[in-house]
Amino acid sequence: MTARDDAAPARLVVLISGRGRNLEAIQGAIEDGRLNARIVLVVSNKTRAPGLQFARLAGLPTVAIQPRQFADRQSYDAALAHRVAAARPDWVVLAGFMRVLSPAFVDPFAGHIVNIHPSLLPLYKGLDTHDRALAAGDSHHGASVHLVTPALDDGPIIRQGRIRIRPTDTTETLAGRITDRIEKKLYAAALADLIEARVHVAPDGTLIDAAGRAYTPPVEDYD
Ligand code: GRF
């Protein structure tokens, strides 16, 4: 047993809005011992998110918090933060969570929220990333796991995965490979980097390595 093996599993709260493929991949990594963590709560803004069904079948606690029950974004985000905080997360994991989060949510968990974005950030923040990479004629495309800050898709990068764009690629084929080849593995690998302290969040919000130097995120080819 190494020291970290008997460390208490990191507590993860995972936020989803849709299919939850990233949620499934993280739970799979936990179950096969690649990630020393435990998903203590799955939260969705959609009561019928298919990922909630997976979570229930996997025996994970779930809750859906609907925006329309709140007067505005600020009160929704505050209520969401309160519910997430009650689960005492070590890491708040955005996994296909399709709402922009205001400081009312981000601030209480600053430095402890991560997100996966389907592009090689800082390229293509925001939506339609696959279309934009294809339109630009890029040679590669990929996904990035990054710390969440109030600015959209803008926080320090923890780990990236990339694949070559094929001449025959469409939005669908490219998105499919990003999901199936990269995202399935990338999120758990990035969370392991954090949980196993290969990367730390410095007081100023930047990432540093175990020796305290500026962190250079790995960019791996998943072709
Ligand atoms: C994925 O493309 C992910 O990169 C983005 O949301 C999409 C759906 O994720 N964040 P999931 O299948 O709900 O995990």
Nearest atom within ligand 1 for CA of residue 183: 4
Give residues with Cβ within 8 angstroms of 175, minimum separation 6.
118, 130
| Cβ–Cβ under 8 Å, residues 194 and 91 | yes
**Catalytic hit among 112, 117, 130, 141:** 117
Residue 117 designated active-site: yes
Domain ranges (residues) in the chain: 10-221
pLDDT tens figures, 47-87? 999 999 999 999 999 999 999 999 999 999 999 999 999 99
Sorting pLDDT into bands at 50, 70 and 90, what band is 5?
A: low
Torsion of CA 142, 105, 18, 160, to 10 degrees: 10
pLDDT of residue 25: 98
pLDDT of residue 1: 41
Is residue 6's pLDDT more than 70?
Answer: no
pLDDT of residue 207: 97
pLDDT tens figures, 76-85? 999 999 999 9
pLDDT of residue 210: 93
Alpha-carbon distance of 2 to 182, in angstroms, equals 28
Binding-site residues, ligand 1, Cβ < 6 A: 16, 18-23, 51, 95-96, 116-118, 143, 183
pLDDT tens figures, 155-182? 999 999 999 999 999 999 999 999 999 9
Tell how far the Cα of 96 is from the centroid of ligand 1, in angstroms.
4
Q: 10-221, which class in CATH?
A: alpha beta
Helix, coil or strand: residue 74:
helix
Average pLDDT, the chain: 96
115-144 average pLDDT score: 98
pLDDT of residue 7: 86
Helix, coil or strand: residue 13:
strand
Sorting pLDDT into bands at 50, 70 and 90, what band is 31?
A: very high
